[in-house]
Amino acid sequence: MNPLIIAIWLMLPAYLPNNFAVFFGGGKPLDFGRNFLDGRRILGDGKTFRGTIIGTLGGVGIGLVLDFVASSRPDLGLPDFGSGYELIPVLLGLSLGAMAGDVVASFFKRRMRMKRGESLFLVDQLDFVIGSWALTLLLAPRWFSENFTSEIILIVLIVTPALHRATNIIGYKIKAKKEPW
């Protein structure tokens, strides 16, 4: 199978949580509306409980479907998301890690006095990638190193900013998102 397809396939459980969060987010913010020591919001109203939970479950759900496809059609040559119990740490790593990376980035954006929704080039595009890799490496190191070869990692770093930009423009056009980034 083409390595570009494999790279996107492996990252779908990390890509989709943020899109789910955009659609289903809202309600109580993760920081409960509280400020940090600098008098600014800890995370801001853009990081909510509902968005984070539904985003994570959405990513795990997609991952289960993809894993089922990969396992039942080995002829396609698409990687699975771990055998047996490994499936759960892998999918949680990818999808919860993506949400966590985005939350950590918002923390730093607020410290940089950036308002909710203000764009920070490359951080907005790659925060969730770094978060998903970090947590997956921690929870399922063997699966991670077997699947994320240096070639796949390089492809992900190159195509993700473009994919992210494209989906956010679509999200903006269909009015699911306030800004086109």
- Note the residues at the interface with ligand CTP (CB under 6 A): 21-22, 25-26, 44, 46-48, 51-52, 99, 102-103, 106, 109, 116-118, 177
For residues 68 and 108, which CB has a smaller minimum distance to ligand CTP in the complex? 108
Tell the smallest beta-carbon distance from residue 151 to ligand CTP (Å). 28
CB 21 within 8 A of CB 53: no
Measured in residues, the chain has a length of 181
Tell the smallest beta-carbon distance from residue 170 to ligand CTP (Å). 13
Tell the smallest beta-carbon distance from residue 161 to ligand CTP (Å). 14
As beta bridge partners, residue 48 has 29
For residues 10 and 105, which CB has a smaller minimum distance to ligand CTP in the complex? 105
Tell the smallest beta-carbon distance from residue 63 to ligand CTP (Å). 18
CB 12 within 8 A of CB 63: yes
Any residues with CB less than 8 A from the CB of 45 and at least 6 apart, and which?
29, 33, 116
Tokens of 148: 């994320």
Which segments of the chain are extended strands (E)? none
Chain centroid to Cα 113, Å, comes to 24
Any residues with CB less than 8 A from the CB of 57 and at least 6 apart, and which?
20
For residues 25 and 82, which CB has a smaller minimum distance to ligand CTP in the complex? 25
Tell the smallest beta-carbon distance from residue 125 to ligand CTP (Å). 11
Amino acid in position 69: V
For residues 12 and 78, which CB has a smaller minimum distance to ligand CTP in the complex? 12
For residues 59 and 79, which CB has a smaller minimum distance to ligand CTP in the complex? 59
Rounded-to-integer distance, Cα 157 and Cα 122, Å: 10
